[in-house]
Amino acid sequence: MQADTTRTALIIGGTGQIGVAAARRLAHDGWSVLIAHRGEHAGDAALADLDVTTIRLDRDDTESLLAHARGHDLVLDTVAYEPRHADQLARLAGDVGSLVVVSTGSVYTGADGGYLDIVTGPEDFPDFPLPLRETDPVVDNAEKTYSPLKAAMERRLLAVDDLPVSILRPGAVHGPFSPRLREWFFIKRALDRRERVVLSDDGSNRFSTSATVNLAELVALCADKPGRRVLNAVDDDALSVAEIARTVFTALDREVEIVAFPGPPIGSVGSTPWTVAHPLLLSMAAATVELGYHQPVGYADAAAAAIDWMVRAVDAADRHGGSWQRLFPALADQADTWFEYPAEDAFLAERITGR
Ligand SMILES: NC(=O)c1ccc[n+]([C@@H]2O[C@H](COP(=O)([O-])OP(=O)(O)OC[C@H]3O[C@@H](n4cnc5c(N)ncnc54)[C@H](OP(=O)(O)O)[C@@H]3O)[C@@H](O)[C@H]2O)c1
């Protein structure tokens, strides 16, 4: 009798945007996938048609986490944020084929040691090496905020013997099932039939994006080639904010004029979720050399899928008496600064009519 050679994976946080894309990619490649989440985000119901099983699990329940994780060919952890999560995963040494952990590109520091968490404005925005490589300096302090904790988690993981861990550093993640899709900044303007959008810095800001479908490709490659490594995980496109805006408006078949001005945002006017005073662009050279990675999907096609998903989700919520704010509470929290139309209109009136 032939032994079953089906490879198995556990995805911690498998109903999130990265988890859904990875589950789909792996299942299409013949993997048997187990998705774990707490039960708050439903994820992609269509995955049930594939060899994908979903269980309820809080990663804080370490014994249950380890019991479900041991013995898999791949464990993908999308919700590891701090050293104690690394300590949990360290206990998988020798018991897992390949461990992939999602970190963040915000661990990098600029020339003066600054990093994203402590930015107060354009004047103290870090001047990052261009492009950022995995060997560039990362934050190393005891602050208990997002980026220092992620960096400490990375170091803790890399110090574990016999742990085949690939750490991925994405930029601004986009994909279907995102709870906070940045592209909503432009999507909503198109749906609101805004005729113009205002961008600071001549629309030239660049902040690496990361399509979940491209992250899934990297996860699959790391599963095929286990190792102990850190890899950037961003789209090759390196688009400017103006190019992102045009891409979103094109996907929605809407003509929206981009009105760009030099210099930093004026209050919220001209600012976007990708507005950075200096470029934050990550190099994909290491993934290409080490894994033979080639980006499968460009930003425009990947973003179109996320935009389509989001527009349908908001439309369905509207039809059933809901709202985008209830559907996406994390985005609703940003609404005051993202959609300050009166300030934008006042700027445009002065700029266009001289009033
Ligand atoms: N968003 C970005 O632009 C960005 C940029 C750089 C790095 N990252 C990194 O990307 C990762 C987030 O991935 P994502 O965007 O795919 O997340 P996401 O869409 O917010 O989904 C999070 C997933 O994790 C599950 N989850 C949350 N807490 C859990 C817990 N305690 N135990 C088990 N499951 C849990 C959620 O489902 P339930 O709620 O049902 O449990 C959901 O399935 C993070 O590590 C973050 O640092 C994100």
Domain annotation for the chain: domains and CATH numbers: 8-353 (3.40.50.720)
Q: What is the pLDDT of residue 267?
A: 94
Q: What is the pLDDT of residue 217?
A: 98
Kindly give the number of the ligand 1 atom that is closest to the alpha carbon of 18.
16
pLDDT in tens, 302-338: 999 999 999 999 999 999 999 999 999 999 999 989 9
Q: What is the pLDDT of residue 4?
A: 75
Q: What is the pLDDT of residue 3?
A: 63
- CA 231 to CA 240: how far, in whole Å? 23
Q: What is the pLDDT of residue 355?
A: 54
Q: In which residue ranges of the chain is pLDDT below 50?
A: 1-2
Q: What is the pLDDT of residue 203?
A: 98
Q: What is the pLDDT of residue 1?
A: 45
Q: Which two tokens stand for residue 112?
A: 């003066």
Q: What is the pLDDT of residue 265?
A: 97
Q: How far is ligand 1, taken at its centre, from the CA of residue 314, in Å? A: 21
Q: How far is ligand 1, taken at its centre, from the CA of residue 17, in Å? A: 8
Kindly give the number of the ligand 1 atom that is closest to the alpha carbon of 105.
6
Residue nearest to atom 45 of ligand 1 (CA): 79
Q: In terms of DSSP H, where are the helices of the chain? A: 17-28, 62-69, 83-90, 146-158, 184-191, 212-224, 241-251, 285-291, 299-319, 324-327, 329-332, 335-338, 341-353
pLDDT in tens, 23-38: 999 999 999 999 999 9
